Amino acid sequence: MEEKRTKISETMEKIVRSRTCGCKDLYVAIVLQNTATQYMAGTPRKLSRLVKAKIDEKWSSEKVFSDDETEEVITAYEGTDVELEVNALAPQDRAFIFGQKYENGYLVKTSNDMAPEVAIGWRERKLNGKYEFKWLYVGKFAEGISDEATTKEGKLSPTTKSIKGSFYERSLDNQYEISVDESNLIDEYTDAQTALANWFSAVQEYPDNIEDIGGSTEGSTGDGTEDSTENGTTGQQ
């Protein structure tokens, strides 16, 4: 059944709020440059089938007092904790996000491994059948992976993998996340509608930022970010 939306004016419409009921399409891109003058990410690649995503934004606040009362409350963004549960990780995936060595069929882990800076994107399904699309601009999965395996007890007991990361604002403009909720798009939001059609082909930018980021979020070569999406496409279904 098609959802009916009521316009209030030519540029506004009734706000649509719908509960989240699913998540899918986890993509990761290597952050190639993250400086005060430039941000650039490589071509996103689909990582694994997403089971669960827990995103925890952390903010701190401090009250400033004067005249025996609260004068101001100062708030500061401290980062975003990310915990992703996925169906499985190939050794190539582990090398890609954890900075480990994968050569000649061997995955080699050392205490000196350095997880690279990455951007992650995914989409969350709403009860109304629409999706909210997201990108976190920069962070690291430096906390490793949680593995679990159990013995077969008469029937198979498939397990999942959990990875934890810390994400933060990029150096260029302190932006740390961008998202589009298609439930609330109206005809005038043409840039957002266009972005949704290619959301996972590149790390997305707000249109006004494209000339200011000093680089490109389009794909690059030689950085290990070749497309490895299922069926060789980035199609959204």
pLDDT beyond 90 at 189: yes
The pLDDT of 199-219, averaged and rounded, is 77
Q: What is the pTM of this model?
A: 0.82
* Contact between 40 and 210 (Cβ < 8 Å): no
Neighbours of 216 (CB within 10 A): 17
Q: What is the pLDDT of residue 13?
A: 60
Confidence of residue 1 (pLDDT cuts 50, 70, 90): very low
Closest C-alpha to 86, from 62, 110, 117, 122: 122
The pLDDT of 208-223, averaged and rounded, is 56
Q: What is the pLDDT of residue 222?
A: 38
pLDDT tens, 80-128? 999 999 999 999 999 999 999 999 999 999 999 999 999 999 999 999 9
Helix (H) or strand (E) holding 147: none
* Alpha carbon distance 200, 135 (integer Å): 9
Percent of the chain with pLDDT over 70: 83
Per the DSSP assignment, residues forming a β-bridge with 123 are: 24, 133
* Contact between 189 and 12 (Cβ < 8 Å): no
Q: What is the mean pLDDT of the chain?
A: 87
Helices (H), 128-228: 190-197
Helix (H) or strand (E) holding 94: helix 91-98
Q: Regarding predicted confidence, which is higher, 73 or 224? A: 73
Confidence of residue 5 (pLDDT cuts 50, 70, 90): low
pLDDT tens, 120-159? 999 999 999 999 999 999 999 988 788 777 777 777 888 8
* Alpha carbon distance 63, 70 (integer Å): 6
